[in-house]
């Protein structure tokens, strides 16, 4: 860390502002295409992205807390709850498509680069295939109500059976079939709407590509500041892998699993372990501090401005 060049590290600031702005654009461009929202200034959109990230980092729940908060926040701008939910589904779909595109480009890049460990090529190819198959599988499931009903029935029985075994019969019903079906039924309605007008996805996907590339570039800048440049292709693959883990692991921002995956992947790609740890941890600390500090300030301002009662959390009951 003594080798850090502060003149290079300061480049993280404008790039972070761009990541916040591009993240919000995946939502607002969809709403604008549907004429579901009035014109909102770029600063308001960026700060809403910071608020969303703050909620997801401090109330880790696989993105559920953020969805609840953003639905409430968009409602104050005149967006209906159903349309707000659809916009957030589009945000995740656009991010998923962007990840597939960028990983595919990274796989091509590391294949051309003969100096990269062939294990990286194999892992990257497996990730691409998994994401494509997962997308096809989800589309196949949500395109039919009968399939969703059958999936809800079987999955609820399986989950409850496992829960009974783990709790020795104390937990007889952990999830109900109707809850699972209702969840997928909402996705089904969004899927039908997107299928009728798939062109509304183009602009959100482009913003999602910009966001993913920019956020991965934060790590590139930090390694550059440390005097240890890294190949952006394997770093991008490591970033997407870690992001998926951060979405699943119930810790603030996926802390722990996120850093471990990136460090392990970069070490396999030939980056010195000490440099990998320094670069990843330094970037994550800066990003998390900025997200939590400024996100908290904007979050509290939003509660004070729009909350029915001051200092009341609008989604605490959820």
- 266 vs 8: CA distance, rounded Å: 21
Q: What pLDDT digit, counting tens, does each position of 21-57 carry?
A: 898 899 999 888 878 887 888 888 888 888 988 887 7
Residue-level pLDDT at 172: 64
CB atoms within 10 A of CB 178: 11
**Mean pLDDT score across all residues of the chain:** 80
SS3 sequence, the chain? CCCCCHHHHCCHHHHHHHHHHHHHHHHHHHHHHCCCCCCCCHHHHHHHHHHHHHHHHHCCCCCHHHHHHHHHHHHCCCCCHHHHHHHHHHHHHHHHHHHHHHHHHHHHHHHHCCCCCHHHHHHHHHHHHHHHHHHHHHHHHHCCHHHHHHHHHHHHHHHHHHHHHHCCCCCCCCCCHHHHHHHHHHHHHHHHHHHHCHHHHHHHHHHHHHHHHHHHHHHHHHHHHCCCCCCHHHHHHHHHHHHHHHHHCCCHHHCCHHHHHHHHHHHHCCCCHHHHHHHHHHHHHHHHHHHHHHHHHHHHHHHHHHCCCCCCCCCCCC
The mean pLDDT value for 108-135 works out to 71
User: What integer is the mean pLDDT of 186-193?
Assistant: 70
For 95-108, what is each residue's pLDDT tens digit?
888 888 888 887 77
Per-residue pLDDT band at 247 (split at 50, 70, 90): low
Pick the more confident residue, 116 or 287.
287
pTM score over 0.85: no
Structure tokens at 116: 């990269």
Q: Look at residue 318 in the predicted model and tell me its pLDDT.
A: 46
> What's residue 311's pLDDT?
46
pLDDT-derived band at 310 (thresholds 50, 70, 90) equals very low
- Looking at the predicted structure, is the pLDDT value of residue 60 above 70? no
User: Which whole-number Å values give the CA distances from 6 to 11, 81, 231, in the listed order?
Assistant: 9, 44, 21
Report the length, in residues, of the chain. Answer: 318
**CB proximity list for 312: less than 8 A, separation 6 or greater:** 303
CA–chain centroid gap for 216, Å, is 13
pLDDT for the residue 208: 93
What is the dihedral sign for C-alpha 198, 200, 206, 210? negative
Q: Which of 129-143, 160-174, 202-216 has the highest mean pLDDT?
A: 202-216
| 8 Å CB contact between 314 and 72 | yes
- Provide the pLDDT for residue 173: 67
| Position 301 pLDDT exceeds 60 | yes
Asked whether residue 222 carries a pLDDT value surpassing 90, the answer given is yes
């Amino acid at each position: 860390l003594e080798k850090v060049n502060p003149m290079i590290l300061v480049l993280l600031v404008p790039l972070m502002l761009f990541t916040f702005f591009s993240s919000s654009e995946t939502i607002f461009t969809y709403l604008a295409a549907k004429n579901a929202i009035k014109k909102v200034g770029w600063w308001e959109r960026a700060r809403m992205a910071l608020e969303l990230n703050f909620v997801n980092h401090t109330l880790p729940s696989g993105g559920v807390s953020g969805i609840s908060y953003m639905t409430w926040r968009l409602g104050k701008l005149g967006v209906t709850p159903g349309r707000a939910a659809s916009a957030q589904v589009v945000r995740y779909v656009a991010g998923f498509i962007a990840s597939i595109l960028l990983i595919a480009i990274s796989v091509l890049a590391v294949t051309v680069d003969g100096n990269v460990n062939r294990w990286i090529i194999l892992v990257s190819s497996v990730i691409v295939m998994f994401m494509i198959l997962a997308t096809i599988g989800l589309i196949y499931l949500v395109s039919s109500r009968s399939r969703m009903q059958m999936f809800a029935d079987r999955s609820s029985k399986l989950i409850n059976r496992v829960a009974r075994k783990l709790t020795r019969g104390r937990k007889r019903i952990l999830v109900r079939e109707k809850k699972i079906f209702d969840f997928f039924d909402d996705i089904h309605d969004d899927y039908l709407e997107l299928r009728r007008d798939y062109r509304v996805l183009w602009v959100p996907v482009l913003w999602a590509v910009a966001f993913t590339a920019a956020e991965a570039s934060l790590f590139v800048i930090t390694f550059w500041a440390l005097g240890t440049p890294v190949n952006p292709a394997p770093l991008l693959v490591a970033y997407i892998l870690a992001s998926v883990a951060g979405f699943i692991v119930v810790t603030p921002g996926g802390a722990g699993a996120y850093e471990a995956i990136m460090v392990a992947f970069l070490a396999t790609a030939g980056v010195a372990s000490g440099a990998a740890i320094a670069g990843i941890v330094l970037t994550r600390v800066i990003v998390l501090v900025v997200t939590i500090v400024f996100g908290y300030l904007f979050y509290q301002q939003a509660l004070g401005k729009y909350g029915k009662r001051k200092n009341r959390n609008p989604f605490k009951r959820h």
